[in-house]
Amino acid sequence: MCRQITLQKTLHFFLTKIIIGITVVGGLVVFMEWSGRLLLEKTLLTDDSKNVIIAISDAAIALLSYIFLFRVYEKRRIKELSLSTFGKNAIIGFATGLILQSLFILVIYIAGSYSVIRINPVSFLLPSFATAFTAGFVAEVLIRGIFFRLTEEKSGTVIALIISALLFAVLHSGAKGATLLSVLSTTIQAGILLTAAYVFTRSLWFPIFLHFAWDFAEPRIYGAINPGNTIKQSLFTSKITGSELLSGGQFGPGNSIQATIFCLIAGLLFLWLAKRKNNFIKPYWKK
């Protein structure tokens, strides 16, 4: 009896749930990526078509495995991926990511450091769709849906938010060529902004589509550098010059001073709205 109780406590300890969740969901996504490419290699589809199919498959398996796992594991309805909130949060989330990226570029343009050399066919947007789509869905399910949500349930919103921010600061401080500004910017965007978007809406759809739009707009629409996205084609063939403070240097406009400021403002706004909606969770020792 004691062993059974101990096993139950171990299985439902938040760190155990995080490890199991990331292993199961992440493992299935990796398997889907591998098996999907193996099968599609035998077809006559173009590389772009293959990438889109793989991206949609990866996103689907991430969502389905998360829903099934935690519906059984936690014996609850997965409200954070409710279809009733999909439309509103997906549209607003995508618009937020697109607007933020547009503001970063606008500042560079006003400073006279951004110029459009050529406008390309809309078909040039397709290759980046796959990478951005996969990043938005898979990363947010793993980071916000599993890591942050379970940490927040145990330690409360404030502490979980601090842990999330510190984690991204540590992970990105070791990146090649990392600067104080690039680390600070990434910490605010990935650790605070996207997390605050989830806390405000209590829906994963919002950060998923914000992340998707972010990774899609920067390299594929504006032709700017995105550290996780290799640029071959973009809607605008552009040239960005001037100070690294505004351009973001080798890390792109998303790691510029204006990006840091705008994202901090947006993140704090989401947190303020979340607080007004009583969406903050208290740590377990205060409940």
Residue 6 covered by a domain? no
pLDDT value at residue 287 = 61
Tokens of 3: 């062993």
Look at 64-68, 91-95, 108-112, 264-268 and tell me which has the smallest mean pLDDT.
Answer: 108-112
Range of the structural domain that residue 96 is part of = 84-286
Q: Is residue 250 a part of any domain in this protein?
A: yes
Predicted confidence (pLDDT) per residue in 207-243, tens digit: 999 999 998 887 788 877 666 555 667 777 778 887 8
- pLDDT: is 192 or 5 the higher one? 192
Is the predicted pLDDT of residue 51 greater than 90, yes or no? no
Length of the chain equals 287
- Tally the domains of the chain: 1
Rounded to whole angstroms, the Cα distance separating 198 from 136 reads 13
At 232 the pLDDT is 67
Assigned domain for 254 exists:
yes
**4-30 exposure pattern, b = at least 16 Cβ within 10 A, e = fewer:** eeeeeeeeeebeebbeebbebbbebbe
109 within a domain of the structure (yes/no): yes
The residue behind tokens 């500004």 is: 181
Question: CA–CA separation, 75 vs 69, rounded Å?
Answer: 9
pLDDT recorded at residue 14? 85
**244 is a domain residue:** yes
In angstroms, the CA 197 to CA 208 distance is 10
End-to-end Cα distance, the chain: 28
**pTM to 2 decimals?**
0.91
Report yes or no: 254 and 101 within 8 Å, Cβ to Cβ.
Answer: yes
Tell me the pLDDT tens digit for each residue of 8-25.
777 878 899 999 999 999
Whether 200 contacts 274, CB under 8 Å: yes
10 in any annotated domain = no
Backbone Cα Rg of the chain: 20
Residue 129, in any domain of the structure: yes
178 within domain boundaries: yes
